[in-house]
């Protein structure tokens, strides 16, 4: 059985979304980020990224991680590529060409997009978006992302999804990375195809179900 380690309010969200898209029965182990725990090593602390029990799964102390029939993986985007390949269906590549394209888009997301979008979301998480330093950080990220959005805008000309004219794991992976930039509405206003593509991804029932669980965490 698939086990997903990590809370919904983390990169684990993309693995929870993927599992729901595939209809996989899974176990959730809600490992929280150590920075959100007053004393992560206390005896009564919730399981977190510094807990010995979790470090036995991922010695890097980062979430998410997954375990599936003895296979342990610790990179969220790669986790989804694995799940698509193993469980198949329309989210998976139909042939070697699609596998290459899906892998290419996913690596592009990890190297060219997420380094900037994650800085934006973390600036908001730390409540620094209105400080001089925070504003400068966001401005730098937006400048870098403008080229990224333009690349996506061009690719989506005449198509609804990234690969194979259908929603695939590539769309899911990129949608989760682009979601971190949603506070920067000017980027989406300037690139309407990207905005419409993200809206299509977020209209999927599996995404909505994942977000419901995420909102429950935020309310706790």
72 three-class SS: strand
| Domains identified in the chain, total number | 2
Do 79 and 15 meet the contact criterion of CB atoms below 8 Å apart?
A: yes
User: Would you say 207 and 17 are in contact if contact means Cβ atoms under 8 Å apart?
Assistant: yes
What's this model's pTM, rounded to 2 decimal places?
0.95
Stretch 123-148: mean pLDDT? 96
The predicted-structure confidence for 70-129, as pLDDT tens digits, reads as follows 999 999 999 999 999 999 999 999 999 999 999 999 999 999 999 999 999 999 999 999
Looking at residues 25-39, what average pLDDT do you find? 94
Q: What is the pLDDT of residues 193-216, one digit of tens each?
A: 999 999 999 999 999 999 999 999
Q: Is the pLDDT of residue 220 over 90?
A: no
Task: Tell me, yes or no, whether 213 lies in a domain.
Answer: no
Same domain, 103 and 71: no
Strands 26-29 and 2-5: parallel
Neighbours of 208 (CB within 10 A): 12
Q: What is the mean pLDDT of residues 35-64?
A: 95
Last residue of a domain, one of 34, 56, 88: 88
- Tell me, yes or no, whether 43 lies in a domain: yes
User: Is 77 part of a structural domain of the chain?
Assistant: yes
Is residue 14 located within the same domain as residue 84?
yes
- Cα maximum dimension of the chain: 56
The pLDDT confidence band at residue 219, using thresholds 50, 70 and 90, is low
pLDDT at 152: 98
Confidence class for position 41, pLDDT limits 50, 70, 90: very high
pLDDT digits over 164-189, tens only? 999 999 999 999 999 999 999 999 99
| Mean of the per-residue pLDDT values of the chain | 96
- Can you tell me whether residue 27 is helix, strand or coil? strand
What does the pLDDT read at residue 218?
Answer: 75
Any residues with CB less than 8 A from the CB of 45 and at least 6 apart, and which? 37, 39, 51
If asked whether residues 80 and 117 sit together in one domain, one would say no
């Amino acid at each position: 059985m698939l086990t997903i380690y990590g809370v919904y309010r983390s990169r684990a969200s993309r693995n929870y979304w993927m599992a729901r898209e595939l209809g996989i029965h899974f176990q959730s182990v809600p490992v929280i980020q150590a920075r959100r725990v007053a004393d992560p090593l206390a005896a009564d602390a919730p399981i977190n990224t510094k807990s010995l029990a979790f470090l036995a799964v991922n010695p890097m102390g980062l979430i998410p991680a997954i375990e599936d029939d003895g296979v342990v993986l610790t990179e969220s985007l790669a986790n989804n590529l694995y799940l698509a390949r193993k469980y198949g269906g329309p989210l998976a590549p139909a042939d070697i060409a699609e596998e290459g394209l899906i892998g290419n888009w996913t690596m592009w997301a990890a190297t060219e997009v997420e380094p900037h979008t994650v800085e934006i979301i973390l600036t908001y998480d730390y409540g620094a978006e209105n400080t001089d330093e925070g504003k400068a950080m966001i401005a730098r990220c937006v400048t870098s992302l403008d080229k990224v959005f333009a690349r996506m805008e061009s690719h989506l000309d005449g198509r609804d999804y990234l690969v194979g004219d259908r929603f695939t794991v590539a769309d899911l992976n990129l949608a989760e990375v682009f979601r971190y930039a949603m506070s920067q509405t000017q980027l989406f206003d300037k690139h309407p195809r990207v905005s419409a593509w993200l809206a299509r991804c977020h209209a999927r029932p599996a995404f909505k179900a994942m977000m419901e669980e995420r909102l429950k965490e935020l309310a706790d």
